[in-house]
Amino acid sequence: MISIKTQVGIIGAGPSGMVLANWLKKYGIDAVIIELRSREYVEGRVRAGLVEQNTKDILKELGLDARMKKEGIVHDGVYLSFDEERIHIPFGELTGGRTITIYGQQEITKDLTDAWLDGGETLHFETKATKIIDFDTKSPKIHFEKDGEEGILECDFVAACDGFHGIGRKTLPKKSFQSYDITYPFSWLGILANVAPSTDELIYAYHENGFALHSLRSETVSRLYVQVDNDESVDNWSDDRIWSELSKRLANLGWELKEGPIFEKSITPMRSHMIDSLRSGRLLLAGDAAHIVPPTGGKGMNLAIADVKHMVDAFVAYYKTNSETLLDTYTNDALRRIWRAQDFSNFMTKLFHKQDAHGSFTYRLQKAKFDYLKVSRAYKTTIAENYVGLPFESFKN
């Protein structure tokens, strides 16, 4: 039996777990991380790319933004298309200079993992957290399995940063929270292709065939998504079919989509999931362990890292001043921002996805919103400030 002790036991080496560990270290608080997958798997997992202003500020504060600053691509705006009409939302002008950066989630995770391991800290890959016990006492424990051997990580607090399928949320006492779910009747087929982006800013598009998104990863790699039915399989989507749909859905006068070899294809279902309590005793949840937003608007990873800010504030107050006030307000401090992001992600999803026949009442409401966006600076500002992420001060009340 392996036995380890630390102050904060972290389950999950995704963005939330790795930001938490590195941030706690800055304050002299010890942490040990347990991660189910191998390092290669975590660092190769293709997911998010949109990094909002708050996340950039946090990585800068941690001194871990050097590679993102060098290799990430800053965007000062976004294009929104509807039935081949296209408008531009200028972020900087509408939000006082706030922007987003496109930089792969797995690159952020890699930078954070490198910093953690280079500093001689502990991260157990290929180690499965199997049980969290005693979180209603001052000495909670994480049971785990590594290389066929069992172990116990004893700590002051457990931070469940273990994603949607982890054990953190399942461990919360059933009666301690209420959950809310929406399953959307469509999914995203996402691709990575070796081709220069056909656009200087991201494009979100409504088309009668369904939603499309043009994003990118670098000057030579494009990231694109198309709305597909929930029962679709990637096997039904040849490269030719994907490019043909993307060209139709992103079509715009005088603009052409460049095509190239596709080297990654996957389908992601779209859902919203919420729970209204992120803590039970000394077990605290952050990120996808606690909430899922549909990906339209790129909020999931940013929200996970925003939760961690509140968690760090709570742990620092506890260890430095013996105060439990911020532990007690953790759920509510985090939930205000989470609900705002749920609303924005739901709004963007419903504005740009095909939900009913072209010309239906739902379609006409979508079009009315877009037509209003074209003429209203106030409406554009609403999108811009949510897209780049509202500052933390906005949620203090």
Which residues make up the interface to ligand DHB (CB under 6 A)?
48-50, 102, 202, 215, 223, 295-298
Interaction between residue 294 and ligand FAD (CB under 6 A): no
Q: Is 261 part of the annotated catalytic residue set? A: no
Q: Given candidates 101, 199, 296, 302, which one binds ligand FAD under the rule CB under 6 A?
A: 302
Interaction between residue 245 and ligand FAD (CB under 6 A): no
How far apart CA 286 and CA 373 sit, in angstroms, is: 34
By a kind-dependent CB cut-off of 5 to 8 A, residue 223 interacts, out of ligand DHB, ligand FAD, none, with ligand DHB
Least distance between ligand DHB and beta carbon 49 (Å): 3
How far the first Cα of the chain sits from its last, in Å, is 47
Q: Which is nearer to ligand FAD, 95 or 296 (CB)?
A: 296
Interaction between residue 298 and ligand FAD (CB under 6 A): yes
Interaction between residue 268 and ligand FAD (CB under 6 A): yes
Q: Which is nearer to ligand FAD, 195 or 289 (CB)?
A: 289
By a kind-dependent CB cut-off of 5 to 8 A, residue 285 interacts, out of ligand FAD, ligand DHB, none, with none
Interaction between residue 202 and ligand FAD (CB under 6 A): no
Q: Is 295 part of the annotated catalytic residue set? A: yes
Query: Is residue 123 helix, strand or coil?
Result: strand
- With contact defined as beta carbons under 8 Å apart, do 224 and 215 qualify? yes
Phi-psi region of 293 (alpha: psi -120 to 50; beta: other; left: phi over 0): beta
Q: Is 124 part of the annotated catalytic residue set? A: no
The β-bridge partners of 87 are: 80
Residue 5: CB atoms within 10 A of its CB come to 14
- With contact defined as beta carbons under 8 Å apart, do 206 and 370 qualify? yes
Least distance between ligand DHB and beta carbon 216 (Å): 7
Nearest to 279 by CA among 306, 302, 307, 303: 307
Contact stretch for ligand FAD (CB under 6 A) within 12-20, 195-203, 273-281, 322-330: 12-20
Phi-psi region of 384 (alpha: psi -120 to 50; beta: other; left: phi over 0): alpha
By a kind-dependent CB cut-off of 5 to 8 A, residue 36 interacts, out of ligand FAD, ligand DHB, none, with ligand FAD
Residue with tokens 């389908």: 267
Contact stretch for ligand FAD (CB under 6 A) within 80-88, 131-139, 288-296, 325-333: 288-296
Q: Given candidates 8, 10, 48, 172, which one binds ligand FAD under the rule CB under 6 A?
A: 48
How far apart CA 78 and CA 385 sit, in angstroms, is: 12
Residue with tokens 């780049």: 388
How far apart CA 388 and CA 3 sit, in angstroms, is: 43
Residue 69: CB atoms within 10 A of its CB come to 13
Q: Is 75 part of the annotated catalytic residue set? A: yes
Nearest to 144 by CA among 299, 32, 264, 253: 32
Q: Which is nearer to ligand FAD, 15 or 210 (CB)?
A: 15
Give the residue closest to ligand DHB by C-beta. Answer: 49
Give me the amino acid identity at 295: P
Least distance between ligand DHB and beta carbon 51 (Å): 10
By a kind-dependent CB cut-off of 5 to 8 A, residue 13 interacts, out of ligand FAD, ligand DHB, none, with ligand FAD
Q: How many residues bind ligand FAD (CB under 6 A)?
A: 38
Instruction: Please state the three-class secondary structure of 38-75 as a single string.
Output: CHHHHHHCCCCCEECHHHHHHHHHCCCCHHHHHHCEEE
* Residues of the shown chain interacting with ligand FAD in the complex, contacts defined by CB under 6 A: 11-17, 34-37, 42, 47-50, 105, 128-129, 161-163, 165-167, 188, 190, 268, 287-289, 295, 298-302, 304
Which residues are marked as active site? Answer: 75, 204, 295, 299, 387
